[in-house]
Each structure stands twice: as C-alpha cells, then as structure tokens.
Amino acid sequence: QEAKRKDGTCVYVRGMYDRFQDRQAMARDLEHALERDELLLNYQAKIDLASGDVAGAEVLLRWHHPDRGAVRPDHFIPEAEHSGAIVPIGRWVLETACAQGRRWLDEGRPLKLAVNLSAAQFSQADLVDQIKAALNRSGLPPHLLELEITETTVMMDMESSVQTLQALRDLGVSLAIDDFGTGYSSLTYLRRFPVTVLKLDRSFVDGMEHGGDPAAIAAAVVQLGQVLSLSVVAEGVETEAQAEALRRLGCDMAQGFLYSRPQPVEQFQASLPPPGP
C-alpha cells in the first residue's frame, strides 16, 4: 500500500508490497514491466546549499505493479540487477531522463539530471556508446547529465573502472560516487578515479546535527571533497539543523525530504520556480 498525501505524492507504508517476496514471480513480472508501461521516473531536487536554488535532480525509478501497487525500489532493483532485467530497464531510464532534460532545457530550465547506474550496466562493454547515443538522440548537452555509480561498483574492478570512468568523462558527463563512505573508501583510488562528485551517504547525515561519529565523518568527507576539488552532495537531508550543519562544513549541495520528496514529472515541474527569461 501507499498513502496519498495532500500534494498528490505517495509515501510508502509497510503493506502488501512488502510480501512480494516470491523472487521468481517478481523476476517474471519485471521482464514485462517495461513493455507493459508499468515503470516511471520520479525526480528529487538537488539544492545548492549556498544559494538555495534547485541545481538539478536525481532520477529515481518506480514500478507500479497492476496487482501489487508500488513495489519498493529496494526490493525490485536488486532483483532486476540479479536477473539482468536492469540492463534494458536502465537503458530506458537513461533515454527517458535525457529526453526530459532536453525538454526542460528547451523551456529555459537547464537542470542537471543524475541517473543511477547499476553494477550490471557499468560493466557492459557498450556502456559508453549507450550514453553517447542517449545524448545524441535527445540533444541533451553532456554537462547536464550526471551518472551516479556506487563505491562498491567502481571498486569491483579498479583497473577497468578507471578506463570506463575516463571514457565517460571524455564525453563530458559528470560522475558521482554514490553512497560514499559505506564501501571501501580509499584515498588512493579516489585520486585515480576521474569523478567529479561525492555523494555523502545518508547514514552520516542522519544524526550529524548531534555531533559524534556521523558529524565527524560528514566533516571529513566534505574536507576530502575540497582537497580533491570534488563537489559534495549530502543525501537524506531531513531537517533544517542538518542543512545548517552541512552549510557550516562547506558542503556544496543537499538532497532530501527537507526540500522535496521524489516526485513524478508533473509534480516536480510544478514545484520549480518559473523559468528565467
């Protein structure tokens, strides 16, 4: 189940979709989710902490199952990765997001859109061509596309990751290390990886306003970003106290329920200020 809020967005409550535990059934249904038009994208704003402006958005995949309703992303995405269904689905996410980014650009709203890449996609031999094709087809300028790749994904095969990341950078897209701080953070690899953004995992934002380890780690990640000239985005910002603490540390951007929930395209667009002249 999901509960409809006043603004029309949905929040998940524990319910029947949690019992979609039959992995085979889920995998089977996922095979057809794309062609049956059950997938959609939500957009969550990324805020420039210094100016308060919406600088971009993360693109988050949603699945509305005809019988089961909204299936939790943390249930179906790992399954899609396991079955390989994430590869065609991920391509659709990329194409759809680029087309949307181009529409916003044409309306005078140049938003940088961040698309998540799974490990299965990242290791595909034609990944760079896929990204290039999505950019060409949509006409989205590469600087308006960011790819979020988890620390765990890039650490799986460091040598080939460096090459793939470099080839993606050569296209002109931005690269973010997602969930930073939860994997094997190593300064040596960070220096070698041609990435542009660190996304501070929300487990360190949660509770950082009370000091202690989360605050110390958040501070260290922000400093690391400054030393390596990487922009730092804090995820999961839920309170003004957290935002204030992050601003004091010099964190560049923030994303979280404090600013906006992930929303379907119409609601997200309606929440933006009118496009500039």
Binder among 42, 44, 116, 153 for Ca ion (CB under 5 A)? 116
State in angstroms the smallest separation of the CB of 57 from Ca ion.
11
Task: Give the C-alpha separation, 221 to 179, whole Å.
Answer: 12
Binder among 90, 101, 181, 214 for ligand C2E (CB under 6 A)? 90
Given Ca ion, ligand C2E, none, residue 208, with its beta carbon under 5 to 8 Å by kind, binds none
CB of 223 or CB of 257, closer to ligand C2E: 257
Given Ca ion, ligand C2E, none, residue 225, with its beta carbon under 5 to 8 Å by kind, binds none
State yes or no: residue 86 binds ligand C2E (CB under 6 A): yes
State yes or no: residue 179 binds Ca ion (CB under 5 A): yes
State yes or no: residue 214 binds ligand C2E (CB under 6 A): no
State yes or no: residue 9 binds ligand C2E (CB under 6 A): no
State yes or no: residue 148 binds Ca ion (CB under 5 A): yes
Spell out the residues 6+ positions from residue 17 whose beta carbon is closer than 8 angstroms to its own. 1, 65, 68, 69, 70, 71, 72, 75
Give the side-chain half-sphere CA count within 13 A for 66: 7
Point out which span in 25-33, 88-96, 98-106, 115-123 binds Ca ion (CB under 5 A): 115-123
Coil, strand or helix: which one is 62? strand
Residue 177: Cβ-neighbour burial (10 angstroms; 0-12, 13-18, 19+) = buried
Total binding residues toward ligand C2E, as defined by CB under 6 A: 24
State in angstroms the smallest separation of the CB of 42 from ligand C2E.
7
Give the side-chain half-sphere CA count within 13 A for 62: 21
State yes or no: residue 73 binds ligand C2E (CB under 6 A): yes
Given ligand C2E, Ca ion, none, residue 9, with its beta carbon under 5 to 8 Å by kind, binds none
State in angstroms the smallest separation of the CB of 276 from ligand C2E.
26
DSSP 130-193: HHHHHHHHHT--GGGEEEEEEHHHHHHTHHHHHHHHHHHHHHT-EEEEEEETSS---HHHHHHS
Nearest residue to 195 (alpha-carbon basis) of 156, 169, 227: 169
Coil, strand or helix: which one is 63? strand
Q: Is the C-alpha dihedral spanning 129, 133, 139, 140 positive or negative?
A: negative
Site string for Ca ion, 202-241 (x = CB under 5 A): ---------------------------------x------
Q: 26 and 42 in contact (C-beta within 8 Å)?
A: no
Residue nearest to Ca ion (CB): 148
Q: How far is CA 157 from CA 123, 203, 236, in A?
A: 9, 25, 28
Residue in the block written with tokens 């380890």:
213
State in angstroms the smallest separation of the CB of 275 from Ca ion.
26
State yes or no: residue 178 binds ligand C2E (CB under 6 A): yes
- The binding site for ligand C2E (CB under 6 A) comprises 44, 60-61, 73-74, 77, 86, 90, 93, 116-118, 148, 178-179, 202, 235-238, 255-257, 262
- The binding site for Ca ion (CB under 5 A) comprises 116, 148, 178-179, 235
